[in-house]
Structure 1
Amino acid sequence: MKLHLILGAAMCLLATSASAVDLQGHLQPGGFAVGHVEPGATVLLGENPIEVGSDGTFVIGFGRDQGTAAQLTIVHADGKVEQQELSVAPRSYEIQRIDKLDQNMVTPDPATEARIKADQAKVKAARANPSNRRDFLATFIWPAEGPISGVYGSQRILNGTPKAPHFGTDIAAPEGSPIVAPAAGMVRLAETDFYLTGGTVIIDHGLGIYSSYLHMSRIDVVPGEEVRQGQVIGAVGKTGRATGPHLHWGLNWNEVRLDPALLLPPRP
């Protein structure tokens, strides 16, 4: 039996052998693909069970440091088990240096660290219950206009100190420039004053796919609000840990951080 994976036009088709699972998506670090099995089937990526929608649709995603192989397991409703070894394309990353930051933003004191952890707990809670939406199947659009100033996976060196990689796409734009929803969804979080990310919005696009928008100067949506593609959700800013006005656009599959730029063709 073949498993047919479907995704919008922005995704590329991956060739597989006749006996393999048909895949359409980005099998590389930061990428994701969408699949479909009969209702009642169970899907695992490695040893981890995957959320399967009521119609059998599911998503698999790969983090920044994913190796070159992964195993997909399907346990069908009749008990039949199928396994497929997935080949994951390797990827290299840039090194990005950012200087002249407030040192407390780089090495926070205990009180600030506690505040950061409280902010992170709110973000985790916002992504805790994946919905059965299908908005992620649409072709995404860019959420803001401007040059790309930061890319997914780059190693960040802040004030000379190596830090966590950059998980998202940065779009430089004047403060107050509009930010729009790149796809329809439901707002799960809208916070104006997170310590590191400032004005922060998270939108649920379904089955664990969430987009996030950081450093916003203005937020025009509230949690629970349904947004349509192209709707203005706020404005570009430089709140939180930012050296200038820009939008940090992130994408998650549950807690796995993905590359939103893979959803779209390269910008001119």
Structure 2
Amino acid sequence: MRLPAALAPLVCLAAAASPQAPAPVAAPAFRWTGTPTQGGLIAGTVPTGSVTVTLDGQPIAVEAGRFIAGFDRDAGSQAVLVATLDDGRRITQPLAVAARAWRIERLDTLPKFPAPDPVMAQLRPAELARIAAARAEVTDATGWRQAFRWPAIGRISGLFGAQRIYRGEPGSYHSGIDIARPTGTPVVAPADGVVILAADHPFTLEGNLLMIDHGHGLNSAFLHLSRIDVRVGDHVRQGDPIGAVGATGRATGPHLHWSLRWRDARLDPLLVAGAMPGA
């Protein structure tokens, strides 16, 4: 049936005003900086509306939508982030964890273990207990949010992850970065934090040991110091003096050993702080 000409414009206007299909809404997603890799750390934001977040099934802390997550030196090739939203949905983010090639030194003429040291056997359990207790501390530190800086500037004399093989038997890998500097060179806080261990006497291996919590499971350890300038419970700011380079404990010369951990994952400071200035 033909409409009267007078009504035709009204029909056209009605058609133009009819609602269109809503544009698709993107699903909430994880976003991060950094690369998931062995010894690496990522920092990012969780999907909007996240109530809980896990990495490989383990809960991780989230503050104002922000999180960090680290990957051990020997982490596997896959990890999974999962966010449960307030509406019950689950957002799953698979992560491909990049493998790295480590410096391996083979010593076919030396045994893995030297002669037993009765003094170390007596003292070591208590030292390890103090280190474990310090790492279990939960503080109000917020340094995990910051871009880390180097605690000392100098020649890198030992790389993270390097390992020796003694007569075919692997030894422990190097858990941090060594920075060769003269005794007495100042050491500064790489990020804000709270002091969780300040040894009152040299440990058998670490010498004068200082540990700082940066929050959300991230902490630093500084080994072989000639002196420690802070106390347990002190809040330090990024760049504050905290001690001085030394050669205490088992060290062949003055240097700073700096190690980083996120929970139980040992991290490479080179990936967290970036290249050594001037290198």
Return the TM-score normalized by structure 1: 0.83
Are 1:29 and 2:38 counterparts? yes
Judge conservation of contact 2:142–2:215 (CA < 8 Å) in 1: yes
Per-residue deviation, 1:115:
1.9
Are 1:51 and 2:61 counterparts? yes
Judge conservation of contact 1:106–1:158 (CA < 8 Å) in 2: no
SS in 1 for 2:172: coil
Q: Which of residues 149, 167, 179 is equivalent to 2:187?
A: 179
Amino acid at match of 2:204: Y
Question: Paired residues, what number?
Answer: 247
Are 1:164 and 2:172 counterparts? yes
Judge conservation of contact 2:209–2:223 (CA < 8 Å) in 1: yes
- Equivalent in the alignment of 1:198: 207
SS in 2 for 1:179: strand
**Distance 1:178-1:227 versus aligned 2 partners, 3 A rule:** same
Amino acid at match of 1:115: L
- Equivalent in the alignment of 1:15: none
Judge conservation of contact 1:2–1:22 (CA < 8 Å) in 2: no
Tell me, in whole angstroms, the C-alpha distance in 1 between the residues paired with 2:179 and 2:156: 5
For residues 94-129 of structure 1, give each alpha carbon's deviation from its aligned partner in whole angstroms, at most 9, with x where no partner exists: 02579xxxx9x9554455234222211111111213
Return the TM-score normalized by structure 2: 0.80
Judge conservation of contact 2:139–2:194 (CA < 8 Å) in 1: no
Computed over aligned residues only, the root mean square deviation of the Cα atoms, in angstroms, reads: 2.6
Tell me, in whole angstroms, the C-alpha distance in 2 between the residues paired with 1:265 and 1:40: 31
Deviates more, 1:132-141 or 1:33-42: 33-42
- Equivalent in the alignment of 2:84: 75
Tell me, in whole angstroms, the C-alpha distance in 2 between the residues paired with 1:244 and 1:162: 24
SS in 2 for 1:41: strand
User: Who wins on radius of gyration, i.e. which is larger?
Assistant: 2
Judge conservation of contact 1:187–1:227 (CA < 8 Å) in 2: yes
- Equivalent in the alignment of 2:275: 266
Aligned-pair identity (%): 46
Are 1:148 and 2:156 counterparts? yes
Per-residue deviation, 1:249:
0.4
**Distance 1:265-1:35 versus aligned 2 partners, 3 A rule:** closer
Are 1:218 and 2:227 counterparts? yes
Are 1:92 and 2:118 counterparts? no
Q: Unmatched 5+ residue regions in structure 2?
A: 1-26
Per-residue deviation, 1:219:
0.5
Q: Unmatched 5+ residue regions in structure 1?
A: 4-20
- Equivalent in the alignment of 1:7: none
For residues 16-64 of structure 1, give each alpha carbon's deviation from its aligned partner in whole angstroms, at most 9, with x where no partner exists: xxxxx332123101111123335761111112222333x3432211001
For residues 231-256 of structure 1, give each alpha carbon's deviation from its aligned partner in whole angstroms, at most 9, with x where no partner exists: 11111111111111110001010221
